[in-house]
């Protein structure tokens, strides 16, 4: 695929224990174009987070090939941003210093970038606030801004809105889409929520478990902003649900 920033070829992952071994992923093949928003969904135990950690360079013990911009990944780096389910902010630092992290916020270039990101994630006015003073959604916006500070090639998000209430989650989905539209950062977003996967993704990668492998890849050709109540949205949602039903039927056969 032209302009592929991520290329995954015949990727498999096996966990070894003292008594046994468990294959978490088997023969994953996936090309992701620069600027794409990919959502990854599947039942528990299908290897979604494992795949994300491999892309992040946090797990190098796998078989097959994973390339970022045509090069083998040898570990974590600033070219890959990672967002966890919890914001994981430094409680002793305020918003702007959490975003700056280990960089000197007095540096004019860092200051300019931090201010730009605060505006991008809609936290203007909260620069001096501490994590304890923020809502869950606001704290997660700080984490996203921090991950974007060094202009990563890929932003990886591991169920970042899973702990939020429904209203805040919907708002954060809108915020993230707005960030993506403005920055065109390549994003790979893991979720358990079908509506979220359809709402955010350009393509939905559906994984099946035992071991984790690709069941289907569903394109989402819908205009942004998207309406979850629209007929076209519901048609794609039904397509994903049907794939899940196939997975359930396969699991129940064993």
Peptide bond into 237 cis (omega under 30): no
Those residues whose C-beta lies under 8 Å from the C-beta of residue 39, and which sit 6 or more positions away, are: 189, 190, 191, 196, 197, 198, 200, 201, 203, 204, 205
Render pLDDT for 127-146 as a digit per residue (tens, 0 to 9): 999 999 999 999 999 999 99
Those residues whose C-beta lies under 8 Å from the C-beta of residue 141, and which sit 6 or more positions away, are: 121, 122, 123, 172, 175
pLDDT band at 1 (very low <50, low <70, confident <90, very high): very low
Handedness of CA 81, 45, 206, 72 (dihedral sign): positive
Residue 54 confidence (pLDDT) above 50 = yes
**Residue whose entry in the numeric block shows the structure tokens 């070829």:** 9
Pair of tokens at residue 63: 């078989």
User: CATH number of 1-73+174-242: 3.40.50.300, 3.30.70.330, 3.40.50.2020, 3.90.1150.10?
Assistant: 3.40.50.300
If you average pLDDT over residues 211-238, what whole number do you get? 95
**Residue whose entry in the numeric block shows the structure tokens 């730009």:** 116
If you average pLDDT over residues 37-64, what whole number do you get? 94
Pair of tokens at residue 199: 């709402």
Give the 3-state secondary structure of residue 33. strand
Hey, where are the domains in the chain? 1-73+174-242, 80-151
Cα–Cα dist 57/102, whole Å? 20
> Which pLDDT value is given to residue 6?
96
Cα–Cα dist 133/209, whole Å? 40
Residue 115 confidence (pLDDT) above 70 = yes
Give the 3-state secondary structure of residue 125. coil
If you average pLDDT over residues 21-41, what whole number do you get? 96
Pair of tokens at residue 96: 């702007």
If you average pLDDT over residues 200-227, what whole number do you get? 95
Q: What is the DSSP letter of 90?
A: -
Pairing, β 63-68 against β 154-158: unpaired
């Amino acid at each position: 695929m032209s302009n592929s920033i991520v290329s995954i070829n015949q990727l498999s992952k096996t966990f070894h224990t003292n008594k046994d071994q468990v294959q978490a992923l088997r023969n994953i093949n996936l090309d992701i174009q620069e600027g794409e928003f990919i959502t990854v969904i599947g039942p528990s135990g299908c290897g979604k987070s494992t795949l994300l950690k491999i892309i992040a360079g946090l797990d190098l013990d796998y078989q097959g090939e994973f390339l970022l911009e045509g090069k083998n990944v040898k570990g974590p780096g600033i070219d890959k941003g990672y967002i966890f389910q919890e914001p994981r902010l430094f409680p002793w630092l305020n918003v702007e210093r959490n975003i700056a992290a280990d960089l000197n916020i007095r540096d004019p270039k860092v200051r300019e970038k931090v201010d730009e990101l605060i505006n991008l994630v809609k936290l203007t006015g909260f620069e001096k606030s501490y994590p304890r003073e923020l809502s869950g959604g606001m704290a997660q916006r700080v984490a996203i801004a921090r991950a974007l500070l060094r202009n990563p090639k890929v932003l990886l998000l591991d169920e970042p809105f899973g702990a939020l209430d429904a209203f805040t989650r919907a708002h954060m989905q809108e915020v993230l889409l707005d960030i993506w539209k403005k920055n065109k950062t390549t994003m790979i977003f893991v979720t358990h929520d079908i509506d979220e996967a359809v709402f955010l993704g350009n393509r939905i990668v559906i994984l099946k478990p035992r071991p984790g492998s690709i069941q289907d890849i569903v394109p989402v050709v819908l205009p942004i902003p998207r309406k979850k109540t629209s007929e076209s949205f519901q048609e794609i949602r039904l397509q994903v649900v049907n794939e899940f039903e196939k997975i359930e039927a396969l699991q129940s056969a064993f």
